[in-house]
Amino acid sequence: MIRKLIILSFLLMSVAPSSEKDSQGATVRINTDRKVIRLIFSADEAFEGASSILRTLDRNHAKASFFLTGNCLREKKFKSIIQKIIRKGHYVGGHSDKHLLYASWDDRQQSLVTPDSLRDDFRQNMAELEKYGIEISKVPYFLPPYEYYNKESVRLIESLGQTVINYTPGLRTAADYTTPDMPNYKSSQELIDQLYAYEAEKGLNGSIILIHPGTQDIRTDKLYLRLEEIIRYLKAKGYAFERL
């Protein structure tokens, strides 16, 4: 019996996807033993780039994952494109209901929402997903709002049955929300150059790359409009693009 359990454990370990977690417990790489990339797109009230992104994914036969807040899911003008994303077979999961900030920017371990508030917000987000016919048991990954969280919020979300994910540390594409008036502004070319330099130095096996499908109007240099060249460049390097 013991021998059978050891063999079973070995088999499970051999087929389980290799992954990495960050210091707060969120999964930030999946299938690190393969040349596979997960593109993720997070949206709250801005989602103007969704149609362009979907066309690019179609042309390149790539699958991706979209994480949407309840605010986004309730917005009538986004309903048809969200339905299309689902029909195309892309992943659609939760990103909180009201886009709450879970933790202090100054002290990450200081939670800004109570456990009950976080749970209520999470459950409402799931309820909005279900209105689109999404079976929650089949979307097991959750991206925290602002892509920011602490150990407590990760523990709470995972106690509700979902795995917390985030983009791979060291990648800077998530800075595509910055605007020219910000001191930390990064142009799309800077973000692309950094992504390619990271790939050349460390590789992108199992990486999760985040791009925002909506940004402020003041940022006219939209990174999502350059998604095609990113996909083609990395495909030429041997990477496959898969949904979660």
Which CATH number characterizes residue 189's domain?
3.20.20.370
Tell me the mean pLDDT in the region 17-21.
90
What's the mean pLDDT in 91-116? 98
Angle at CA 195, nearest 5°, toward 192 and 165?
A: 120
User: Given pLDDT bands bounded at 50, 70 and 90, which one contains residue 213?
Assistant: very high
8, part of any domain: no
Residue 126, domain extent: 20-241
Residue 98: inside a domain: yes
Residue 223 lies in a domain: yes
- Over residues 132-150, the mean pLDDT reads 97
Categorize the per-residue pLDDT at 14 as very low, low, confident or very high, splitting at 50, 70 and 90: very low
CB atoms within 10 A of CB 35: 15
Answer whether residue 84 shows pLDDT above 50. Answer: yes
The model's confidence at residue 8, banded by pLDDT at 50, 70 and 90, is very low
Q: What's the rounded Cα separation, in Å, for the pair 186 and 174?
A: 10
Where is pLDDT greater, at 3 or 208? Answer: 208
* Predicted pLDDT of residue 1: 46
The rounded distance, in Å, linking the Cα atoms of 177 and 219 is 8
Give the pLDDT band of residue 124 (cuts 50, 70, 90): very high
pLDDT confidence bin for 12, thresholds 50/70/90: very low
Angle at which helices 151-159 and 115-130 cross, to 10°: 50
At 5, the pLDDT band (50, 70, 90 cuts) reads: very low
Query: Is residue 133 one of the residues assigned to a domain?
Result: yes
Distances in Å between the alpha carbon of 194 and those of 25, 60, 74, 78, 201? 25, 22, 35, 31, 11
- Please indicate, yes or no, if residue 7 is contained in any of the structural domains: no
- The total number of structural domains that make up the chain: 1
What are the two backbone dihedrals, phi and then psi, of residue 211, each rounded to the nearest 5 degrees? -130, 140
- Whether residue 191 lies inside any domain: the answer is yes
In a domain, 111, yes or no: yes
Task: Report if residue 219 sits inside a domain.
Answer: yes
| pLDDT band for position 6 (cuts 50, 70, 90) | very low
Sign, Cα dihedral of 46, 82, 134, 165:
negative
